[in-house]
Amino acid sequence: MGKRVNMQKDSTITIIGAGMAGTLQAVLLAQRGFRVSLFERNPDPRKGDAPAGRSVNLALGERGRFALDTAGLLEKVDTFSIPMRGRMLHSPEGEQRLQPYGKDDTEVIYSVHRARLNECLLDAADDLEELSIRFNHQLDRIDWDTNQAWFKCSEDSGEIAHGFKVLIGTDGAGSALRRSMQTQADLGVSEELLETGYKELSIPPGENGEPLLDPNALHVWPRGGFMLIGLANMDNSFTMTLFLDNHASDNNRGFDELENWPAQLDFMNEYFADAVPLIPDLEREFKQNPIGLLGTIRCKKWHMDSKALIIGDAAHAIVPFHGQGVNAAFEDCVALMECLQEIEPGGEINWKEVFSELQDRRIANANAIADMALENYEIMRESVRHEGFLLRKELEHELERRHPGHFIARYSLVMFHRIPYAEAYRRGEIQAGILDELLKGASSLDDVDFETAARLINHKLNTV
Ligand SMILES: Cc1cc2nc3c(=O)[nH]c(=O)nc-3n(C[C@H](O)[C@H](O)[C@H](O)COP(=O)(O)OP(=O)(O)OC[C@H]3O[C@@H](n4cnc5c(N)ncnc54)[C@H](O)[C@@H]3O)c2cc1C
């Protein structure tokens, strides 16, 4: 980031939602001297009585890690991050094959326990005297004429009003702030629900505490129309997620066929036979764990004048197949700090201008990662199974080695770099054209004309 500037110390900012983006944004703002009031509907998760959240662990890439580093938290997060060097593909016959993510072992993504990451952020928030967190406060409604936000407090079943100057909504995909803003201004919201849902299952550690799968890989059982994935946790257990259509169709299986135990077990044995013996609580987990919804939310406007801004899932929820939701939300937080520094540094803050700048910088990028995340579902559940895809990956990595800084696989641009998502998308399209041309009639790298490759790359791509 650029040079630090003195922010207006008396500006108080109200943030709704102490999840991933909200807590990091609050920490970054308080570190710069802003007073921040952070409200969260759930109890303090560190006190052990919070409801179970969705998805136990997540993949963090360079964007998320950079944001954590900006807040001085990366070292701590690294103590509970597990590097994953590639996808371990499980065939129907139970064979395992590693597809590396990057061009070499330095390019890895990290499996991180969601609750621990949230707790780490909350601990950092507690250390900042400019920041106050109120748990058990659920935003209910906003009086935009008097600038009062009303919260339901589960502690005493009462309601409180909180006067605000500036509101930031990080209250997730179902954002109450977004809904309230929409009563005042057209945010151009589109919500697109995916036909696929998900259910979490788990593999505990072995009898001696050992991991039952390779912890340094993201395990994938791609089965065409659906898939099972698994990420390691620090205690050597694995969190598994079954992604499957909600309704069966002529060419796909669906959760609605799996309503009773024999049907669930038969399905798992038919497609994931090597995983079944590792999931001892399969029957209970199928019964108890809900089927989660997945979807994409896009907004054409993220702010309402100088009063309110939405970021993270509240502004751009995406499907989880690129492992980028938190990464993108964290990137919003850093981008807001950059806008604050660049616009009228040291002077009276024009929030409308800051919010508008952030929106301009981020919307195209949010849309690009939303599209790439949708595309990646097809890749993960289907394409990875085909030799043609493997050859394409091999060629991408070879071109990266031969043309460093010029040709970088789109997956790598998203996971291991911080170039804007929209730019990664644009370069990815050009690179896809180059790969198509080079792979015409090729069945191995020996068939590829690397002189043509050099010419095309020099002609079509500049440095990253
Ligand atoms: C199955 C699955 C797997 C995923 N895997 C990954 C992954 O591997 N990598 C990745 O980067 N992303 C992943 N994601 C996406 C990621 O979870 C989200 O993008 C991320 O949590 C968004 O952060 P956020 O802070 O915007 O919202 P959230 O994390 O949803 O936080 C919102 C917070 O606001 C609070 N809140 C909500 N309403 C109110 C209210 N009215 N008043 C007060 N508080 C409120 C909530 O309790 C919560 O604490 C995955 C998502 C799913 C569903």
State pLDDT tens for residues 378-433: 999 988 889 999 999 999 999 999 999 999 999 999 999 999 999 999 999 999 99
**Is 313's C-beta closer than 6 angstroms to any atom of ligand 1?**
yes
Cβ neighbors of 74 (< 8 A, separation 6 or more) are 65, 68
292: DSSP letter: B
Q: How far is the CA of 96 from the centre of ligand 1 (A)?
A: 32
Q: How far is the CA of 53 from the centre of ligand 1 (A)?
A: 9
pLDDT at 61 over 80: yes
Name the band, by pLDDT with cuts 50, 70 and 90, for residue 49: low
| Nearest CA owner, ligand 1 atom 20 | 326
pTM: 0.95
Cα 153 to Cα 335: distance, rounded to the nearest angstrom: 32
Cα 136 to Cα 201: distance, rounded to the nearest angstrom: 29
Distance of CA 412 to the CA centre of its chain: 15
Comparing 157 with 28, the larger pLDDT belongs to: 28
pLDDT recorded at residue 358: 98
**Is 368's C-beta closer than 6 angstroms to any atom of ligand 1?**
no
Which of 29-43, 50-64, 93-107, 261-275 bottoms out in mean pLDDT, i.e. has the lowest? 50-64
Please write the tens of the pLDDT for every residue from 274-326: 999 999 999 999 999 999 999 999 999 999 999 999 999 999 999 999 999 99
Atom of ligand 1 nearest to the CA of 39: 43
Cβ neighbors of 459 (< 8 A, separation 6 or more) are none
Cβ neighbors of 305 (< 8 A, separation 6 or more) are 352, 355
The residue to which tokens 């019964």 are assigned: 287
Cα 175 to Cα 158: distance, rounded to the nearest angstrom: 21
Cα 26 to Cα 408: distance, rounded to the nearest angstrom: 34
The 10 Å Cβ neighbour count of residue 130 is 18
pLDDT at 51 over 60: no
**Is 232's C-beta closer than 6 angstroms to any atom of ligand 1?**
no
pLDDT recorded at residue 53: 45
Select from 188, 154, 150 the least CA-distant residue to 167. 150
Distance of CA 326 to the CA centre of its chain: 4
Q: Which residue among 110, 111, 229, 313 has the greatest number of ligand 1 atoms within 8 angstroms of its CB, and so is best to mutate?
A: 313
Q: Which residue(s) pair with 160 in the sheet? A: 151
Q: Which two tokens stand for residue 345?
A: 């540094």
Phi-psi region of 419 (alpha: psi -120 to 50; beta: other; left: phi over 0): beta
Name the band, by pLDDT with cuts 50, 70 and 90, for residue 3: very low
pLDDT recorded at residue 157: 74
Q: Which residue among 41, 63, 376 has the greatest number of ligand 1 atoms within 8 angstroms of its CB, and so is best to mutate?
A: 41
The 10 Å Cβ neighbour count of residue 51 is 7
pLDDT recorded at residue 11: 64
First-residue to last-residue Cα distance in the chain: 18
The 10 Å Cβ neighbour count of residue 450 is 15
CA dihedral for 240, 225, 97, 449, sign (positive or negative): negative
Name the band, by pLDDT with cuts 50, 70 and 90, for residue 344: confident
Q: Which residues of 291-303 are buried (b: 16+ CB within 10 A; e: fewer)?
A: eeebebbbbebbb
**Is 112's C-beta closer than 6 angstroms to any atom of ligand 1?**
no
Q: Three-state SS for 403?
A: coil
**Is 325's C-beta closer than 6 angstroms to any atom of ligand 1?**
yes
Q: Which residue among 14, 171, 415 has the greatest number of ligand 1 atoms within 8 angstroms of its CB, and so is best to mutate?
A: 171
Name the band, by pLDDT with cuts 50, 70 and 90, for residue 6: very low
CA distance readout (Å), 255 to 55, 161, 198: 18, 43, 9
447: DSSP letter: G
Q: Three-state SS for 443?
A: coil
The residue to which tokens 């399209």 are assigned: 429
- 308-310: strand order across its sheet: 131-134, 35-39, 12-16, 166-169, 308-310, 303-304
**Is 169's C-beta closer than 6 angstroms to any atom of ligand 1?**
no
pLDDT at 7 over 70: no
| Nearest CA owner, ligand 1 atom 37 | 171
Q: How far is the CA of 313 from the centre of ligand 1 (A)?
A: 6
Q: Which two tokens stand for residue 284?
A: 């209970």
Name the band, by pLDDT with cuts 50, 70 and 90, for residue 1: very low
Q: How far is the CA of 436 from the centre of ligand 1 (A)?
A: 37
Name the band, by pLDDT with cuts 50, 70 and 90, for residue 443: very high
Which of 1-10, 36-45, 149-158, 313-322 bottoms out in mean pLDDT, i.e. has the lowest? 1-10
**Is 170's C-beta closer than 6 angstroms to any atom of ligand 1?**
yes
Q: Which two tokens stand for residue 208?
A: 């001696």
Q: Which residue among 46, 153, 162, 170 has the greatest number of ligand 1 atoms within 8 angstroms of its CB, and so is best to mutate?
A: 170
Comparing 462 with 44, the larger pLDDT belongs to: 44
Select from 328, 399, 407 the least CA-distant residue to 362. 328
Cβ neighbors of 301 (< 8 A, separation 6 or more) are 185, 186, 187, 188, 359
Query: Burial of 372 by CB count in 10 Å (0-12 exposed, 13-18 middle, 19+ buried)?
Result: buried
Mean pLDDT over each residue of the chain, to the nearest integer:
94
pLDDT at 154 over 60: yes
> Are 376 and 423 a contacting pair, CB within 8 Å?
no
Cα 444 to Cα 448: distance, rounded to the nearest angstrom: 7
Looking at residues 22-40, what average pLDDT do you find? 97
pLDDT at 338 over 90: yes
Q: Three-state SS for 113?
A: strand
Task: Tell me what percent of the residues of the chain surpass a pLDDT of 70.
Answer: 96
pLDDT recorded at residue 462: 80
Element (H, E) at 351: helix 351-381
pLDDT recorded at residue 55: 62
Tell me the residue type at 240: M
Element (H, E) at 245: strand 238-245
